[in-house]
């Protein structure tokens, strides 16, 4: 019997969520995603020290803030030797509220890849799901620079990304579940809040039905998983980006996998389109305590890890 991972690939494009490109080989993913935290983790491993040293030697005297871009691209280039599809490379999280800065950084990262002969179709520039990030994606997409909207925790963010024609969104699952588990405290029950009723799973399902109902072409890639149950409940999602640890669990499992997400559902007729401008977007996001808190926390943590990466390089 095929493994759960092989069965999942029949319904969903599987993506490796790691900067550890050597480890991803065994799972044969189509694409790969990285972020500052994952690259920091990989750059600290002894088997990647030669790559880091090579980049530093090639750019003597370069400021560490600039050198980070070259490190991100160096890992991306190695990943592209393994995956047949795309790699996601993240813009500095400190630009999350700077549209012009984000656009400039996205163009710079693309230029670095193109200087190595990589076509921009194989790169996804990761941007935070802030209003400024979404506006930057709208501009970049018009130039054929495709964007992966990350730190996405709500339908309002997803709707705005779809309206901006972003190539892909990465709605987070595990971090949503984490928030509700803390919020509910003693009222949390694994029996009633996991599996198909997992808050993070439900959030992605809602976004999926919204996109399919209105014919939005933006790809949906579930992300930030805590366990394989969350992954398998989203079988049928356009893409799922999964850590090596959970990919290994799926590879070892012979659990039967069935498609859970369908493009048409009985609840589709009840879906209303969100028409958002900057004011209504900010208000809707502000009124979602979970999304507001997790977005802010995610940006802070990526900023911290970017600064740690700079310290490592210096």
Whether the CB-CB separation of 11 and 275 falls below 8 Å is answered with no
Polymer length in residues for the chain: 314
DSSP code, position 26: G
DSSP annotation string for 69-125: HHHHHHHHHHHHTT-SS-EEEEPPGGGTT-HHHHHHHHHHHHHHHHHTT--GGGEEE
Separation of alpha carbons 205 and 261, rounded Å: 7
Give me the catalytic one of 105, 126, 138, 167. Answer: 126
Question: In this structure, what is the dihedral angle of CA atoms 201, 202, 207, 213, given to the nearest 10 degrees?
Answer: 120
Sign of CA dihedral 157, 86, 5, 298: negative
Active site residue 126: yes
Q: Which long-range contacts (CB under 8 A, 24 or more apart) does 259-264 make?
A: 259/11, 259/235, 260/196, 260/232, 260/233, 260/234, 260/235, 260/236, 261/205, 261/208, 261/234, 261/235, 261/236, 261/237, 262/236, 263/212, 264/212
Show which residues are catalytic: 126
């Amino acid at each position: 019997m095929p493994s759960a991972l092989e069965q999942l690939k029949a319904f969903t494009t599987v993506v490796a969520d790691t900067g550890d490109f050597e480890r991803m080989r065994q799972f044969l993913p189509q694409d790969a995603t990285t972020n500052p935290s994952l690259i920091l983790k990989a750059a600290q491993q002894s088997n990647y020290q030669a790559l880091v040293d090579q980049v530093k030697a090639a750019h003597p005297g370069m400021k560490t803030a600039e050198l980070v871009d070259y490190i991100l691209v160096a890992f991306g280039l190695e990943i592209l030797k393994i995956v047949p599809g795309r790699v996601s490379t993240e813009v500095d999280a400190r630009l999350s509220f700077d549209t012009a800065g984000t656009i400039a950084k996205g163009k710079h990262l693309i230029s670095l890849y193109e200087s190595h002969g990589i076509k921009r179709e194989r790169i996804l520039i990761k941007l935070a799901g802030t209003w400024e990030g979404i506006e930057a994606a709208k501009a970049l997409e018009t130039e054929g620079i495709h964007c992966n909207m990350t730190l996405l925790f709500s339908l309002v963010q997803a709707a705005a990304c779809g309206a901006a024609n972003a190539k892909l969104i990465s709605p987070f699952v595990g971090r949503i579940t984490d928030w509700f588990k803390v919020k509910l405290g003693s009222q949390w029950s694994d029996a009633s809040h996991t599996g198909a009723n997992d808050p993070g799973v439900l959030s992605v399902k809602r976004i999926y039905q919204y996109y399919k109902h209105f014919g939005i072409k933006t790809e949906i890639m579930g992300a930030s998983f805590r366990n394989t149950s969350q992954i398998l409940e989203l079988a049928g999602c356009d893409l799922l980006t999964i850590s090596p640890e959970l990919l290994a669990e799926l590879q070892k499992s012979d659990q039967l996998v069935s498609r859970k997400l369908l493009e048409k559902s009985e609840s589709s007729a009840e879906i209303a389109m969100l028409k958002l401008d900057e004011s209504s977007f900010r208000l809707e996001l502000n009124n979602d305590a979970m999304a507001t808190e997790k977005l802010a926390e995610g940006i802070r943590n990526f900023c911290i890890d970017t600064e740690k990466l700079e310290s490592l390089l210096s």
